[in-house]
Amino acid sequence: MSELRKRPGTGKFADTGSQNDRPSRSACVLPSTMYSFGFARLVILVLSLAASATWLLSSRERSPLSDSYAVCSRSGARVYTVDEAVPNVQCLVVDEFFIVDSGSLEDVKERWVARGRHRSSLQIRYLDESSIVVPGLSDAHAHILEYGANRQLPLQGAKSIQETVALVRQHILDNSDILDDPSKFIEGWGWDHTSWPVEEWPTSDALEADPIVNGRPVILQSKDGHALWISKTALELSSPLPSEVEGGVIVRDSFGTLTGVLLDNAQDLVKRPVPTERDLLRRFSTAVNDALACGLTSIHDAGLKPASLEFFKRQAVAGNLPVRIYGMRYFDENVPYWGNLSKPIINAGNGRLNARSVKIFADGALRTGGAALNEPYCDNPHAKGFMRIDPEVLTEVVPKYLRDGWQVVSATYQRRNDTPHFLVLGKNIHAIGDYANSIVLDTFESALKDVNVTALRPRLEHAQILTKIDMQRVGNLGVIASVQPTHAISDMWYAEDRLGPERVKYLYAFRSLLDHGSRLALGSDFPVEDMNPLAGFYAAVTRLSPEGESPQGPSGWFPEQRLTRMEALRGMTIDAAYASFTEDSLGSLVPGKRADYVVLSQDIMTVPANQILNTKVQATVIDGRPAFGQV
């Protein structure tokens, strides 16, 4: 066993080393104002941002854009269209919300005049010498409101139980409304016991040991979203708890005493306050500001519970969606089937909101040993993981949703502590382990008797580990693999210990999925991983940590599974658009499509790989107008 593999922390996105020889943590210039104001000032800021036509303009002095303009490079064809016929052009012409032309500067000027327009009516904006333009970037699997909640009390930096408790303590001391009210709930996100010196579950006793934290209702979500660590007060408020939970675990010590940790489905037993509209606005504003600063124009939200979906619908009606959202509706097996009673949401809010999928959780996570595998775990030969849902339920509901026109996304889902899950988006199934994925693919094949599965673009969320046969089935069925490249470089440090030297070869096998005919849609699963889409781009093309390391050396972790740069760019543009049924209007820079594009500070398609993460987002443009920065 190599030394690197024993250091799971090495794979984290740490800001170490100089800018000259190491990539920075993020290309995103994330706004800091959202986290330093008091609550009242924060709400005022959120409302003012919601009313603003352009959020977060950069400090560069530029005259306002006219309705018609061209973005051009002085140094060659530096606009990447992601169009196979004409992959690079010098200029992109925008008229109001749409791309109307592309090509060389002289050609677009001539065609502009030929359409009866005066030459001077076309405003020309030139890129910086090193800059490029790419289509608006998509994150094909993320959690918007959860990310916003995470940023209120982020716990990712803590390297031990004690450091995590210290962050909770400081959060209380920094917020007088919480400090003065011991009954107020405290919620945080991001602790990761696998990165601690001793890999152990935390306990409620650790929270009670701090005199400031003691006696308060505290609910702390793990980084991967599969575990809750709660205080004794929170346990009491959620009592009584059952002895067992199907598809989940209530962790107890050797004496049967509750430890304060609940896994997977058991998390639903914890009672917490319902977020207010102010809470949701604050979380939404935080996430959207960060997303725009990262160059994201479209986000696939992987699992909208009814309250979250209603919130997004309200924002769409109010014209307050600064990014495009593709929502995966939440599946609850305890409520009656609704696929024939509810219609998909298509192009609400001037095309900013779509929700035509359903998300179903099938199994648990790999790191916690919950992912459902065909064979036992190598480091726990008595366990194969578990399913979070009865396969018979899948067999019953998947064909129904498909017949009623909902997208079925079947996902192999592995977060940092993942267990296989079935997510249904439109109908999406979230699965992580090879056994769980096989069950999902069986369900798709069975549904073929009643409906054209491929036409409804089924998705396999995470698609983390599949057998050779199932990789072939993914391609044959036309299943989209919705994958998160940063998961691979996070999990590579422990994966072989968990799966063994042979089975690990089929984990995050992106190249194999492509070769078998699957289409890849790339995402991050934020807040589980870094929101920055260029972090995913870098991980996909290098399979290295940001420090240039992997358990197999500087060539990358299973380098034969790397993507080319164009494949990675397609995965976060046109292929992600295809996965959300929007490829006719988004995903590439060709005439007739919406003018969603991003200006980057350097050419990610040609710079040395170790410089990719030094790229900055100079502008994020949606419908032809800057949402971040300036053109």
Domain spans in the chain, listed from the N-terminal domain onward: 62-136+594-629, 145-269
Q: What is the pLDDT of residue 593?
A: 98
CATH of domain 62-136+594-629: 2.30.40.10
Higher pLDDT, 429 or 288: 288
Average pLDDT (36-47) is: 37
Q: What is the pLDDT of residue 410?
A: 58
pLDDT band at 34 (very low <50, low <70, confident <90, very high): very low
Higher pLDDT, 404 or 391: 404
Identical fold between 62-136+594-629 and 145-269: no
Distance CA 98, CA 593 (A): 6
Single-letter amino acid code for the residue at 194: T
Q: What is the pLDDT of residue 251?
A: 95
Helices and strands, counts by H and E, the chain: 19, 26
* Residue 133 phi, psi dihedral angles, 5° rounding: -120, 135
3-state class (DSSP) for residue 23:
coil
**Does the pLDDT at position 384 exceed 90?**
no
Q: What is the pLDDT of residue 435?
A: 65
3-state class (DSSP) for residue 578:
helix
Distance CA 217, CA 223 (A): 20
DSSP states along 536-556: HHHHHHH-S-TTS--TT-TT-
Average of per-residue pLDDT values in the chain: 84
**Does the pLDDT at position 32 exceed 60?**
no
Fold designation for 145-269: Diaminopimelate Epimerase; Chain A, domain 1 (3.10.310)
Average pLDDT (303-317) is: 92
Distance CA 378, CA 364 (A): 17
Q: What percentage of the chain has pLDDT greater than the value 70?
A: 81
51-98 pLDDT, tens digit per residue, is 333 333 333 456 788 899 999 999 899 999 999 999 999 999 999 999
**Does the pLDDT at position 296 exceed 80?**
yes
- pTM of the complete model beyond 0.75: yes
Distance CA 541, CA 81 (A): 19
What 8-state DSSP symbol labels residue 352?
A: T
Distance CA 578, CA 348 (A): 18
Q: What is the pLDDT of residue 395?
A: 77
Q: Tokens standing for 446?
A: 């069975």
Strands (E) located in 397-456: 407-408, 410-411, 428-430
* Residue 600 phi, psi dihedral angles, 5° rounding: -110, 150
**Does the pLDDT at position 321 exceed 60?**
yes
For residue 167, the Cα-to-chain-centroid distance in whole angstroms is 25
Q: Which residues contact 202 (CB under 8 A, 6 or more apart)?
A: 161, 164, 191, 193, 229, 260, 261
- Please name which of 515, 520, 517, 492 lies closest in space to residue 505, comparing C-alpha atoms: 492
Q: Bridge partners of 483?
A: 522
- What is the C-alpha R_g of the chain? 24
